[in-house]
């Protein structure tokens, strides 16, 4: 892969998000998880790993399901710090461990054991070696266990999106702010006005605990960047003994729930 200039830290964006997080945001995140797990994946008393824990919000909500063990790790030290702050917010539970690590470090991954649920939302396409990262993550799933994974599906717009991300990372502070507003926020405000909505109410809360602004920053800054379509994902997982139970292709990321036979 071409070497790309990266000036963006996912972890710093997550730390900024945590400054404005509230109970409603946490409930939204928990509701999103329930959509995937309720009546289908048992979490209580199980072993779970969150690969690329980011803000730590999802890890905190996973822990609310009372697993036997929860392990969270991320490559970005700022993300590790953000996750640890959520661990502290949850009361520093002894069953939840937070570490710094890389999904591309096979020796590290081999020390982590196997899990009933491997969770990785919107992370592995930013590693610089997506398929290797997915394989390493999938290897942690116990037989009969589940893998919930979310991967960007923008194959048709990949060249445009990659150029946009490179331009954002090459820009300084003011340049980044200009792109955030000119590419997304101003058009969003204009559209809201046309629809008779308050244009200043654009920064709405979203599922998974996010809000519009931090989602924009996450999208523009996210390098490295790879994508996969539905067929590529299914063709990759089938030979590893996984069957797909559910998927959601309604957002920028395609989200899949797999079960290991």
Encode pLDDT of 195-251 as tens digits.
999 999 999 887 666 789 999 999 999 999 999 999 999 999 999 999 999 999 988
Encode pLDDT of 161-202 as tens digits.
999 999 999 999 999 999 999 999 999 999 999 999 999 999
pLDDT band at 256 (very low <50, low <70, confident <90, very high): very high
Cis (ω within 30 of 0) for the bond into 224?
Answer: yes
Residues near 58 by beta carbon (within 8 Å), at least 6 away in sequence: 29, 33, 50, 119, 121, 208, 209
Encode pLDDT of 24-57 as tens digits.
888 888 888 998 998 889 999 999 999 999 999 9
Instruction: Determine the average pLDDT of the residues in 149-153.
Output: 96
Encode pLDDT of 56-91 as tens digits.
999 999 999 999 999 999 999 999 999 999 999 999
pLDDT score for 2: 44
> Using CA atoms, how far apart are residues 200 and 216, in angstroms rounded to an integer?
16
Structure tokens at 5: 């200039």
Question: Are the beta carbons of 242 and 223 closer than 8 angstroms?
Answer: no
pLDDT at position 258 over 80? yes
pLDDT score for 208: 67
Encode pLDDT of 1-18 as tens digits.
345 789 999 999 999 989
pLDDT at position 95 over 90? yes
pLDDT score for 1: 39
Question: Are the beta carbons of 240 and 136 closer than 8 angstroms?
Answer: no
- Short-list 180, 159, 148, CA closest to 255: 148
Question: Looking at the domain covering 21-155+227-260, what would its CATH class be?
Answer: alpha beta
Instruction: Determine the average pLDDT of the residues in 123-133.
Output: 97
From residue 132, give the alpha-carbon distance in Å to each of 29, 107, 129.
28, 14, 6
pLDDT band at 92 (very low <50, low <70, confident <90, very high): very high
pLDDT score for 233: 97
Per domain, the residue ranges of the chain are: 21-155+227-260, 158-221
pLDDT at position 152 over 70? yes
């Amino acid at each position: 892969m071409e070497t790309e200039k990266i000036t963006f830290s996912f972890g710093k964006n997550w730390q900024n998000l945590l400054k404005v997080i509230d109970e409603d945001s946490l409930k939204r995140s928990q509701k999103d998880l329930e959509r995937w797990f309720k009546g289908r994946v048992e979490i209580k008393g199980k072993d779970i790993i969150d690969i690329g824990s980011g803000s730590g919000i999802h890890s905190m909500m996973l822990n609310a399901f009372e697993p036997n063990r929860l392990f969270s790790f991320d490559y970005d030290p700022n993300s590790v710090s953000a996750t640890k702050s959520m661990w502290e917010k949850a009361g520093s539970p002894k069953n939840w461990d937070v570490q710094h690590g890389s999904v591309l470090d096979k020796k590290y991954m081999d020390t982590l054991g196997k899990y009933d649920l491997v969770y990785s939302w919107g992370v592995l396409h930013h590693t610089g070696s997506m398929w290797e990262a997915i394989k390493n993550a999938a290897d942690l799933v116990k037989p009969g266990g589940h893998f919930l994974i979310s991967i960007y599906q923008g194959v048709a717009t990949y060249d445009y999106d990659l150029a946009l991300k490179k331009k954002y990372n090459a820009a300084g502070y003011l340049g980044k702010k200009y792109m955030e507003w000119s590419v997304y926020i101003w058009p969003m405000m204009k559209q809201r006005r046309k629809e008779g909505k308050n244009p200043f109410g654009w920064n709405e809360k979203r599922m998974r605990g996010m809000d519009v602004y931090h989602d924009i920053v996450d999208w523009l800054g996210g390098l490295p960047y790879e994508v996969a379509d539905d067929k590529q994902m299914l063709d990759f997982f089938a030979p590893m003994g996984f069957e797909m139970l559910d998927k959601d292709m309604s957002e920028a990321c395609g989200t899949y729930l797999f079960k290991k036979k």
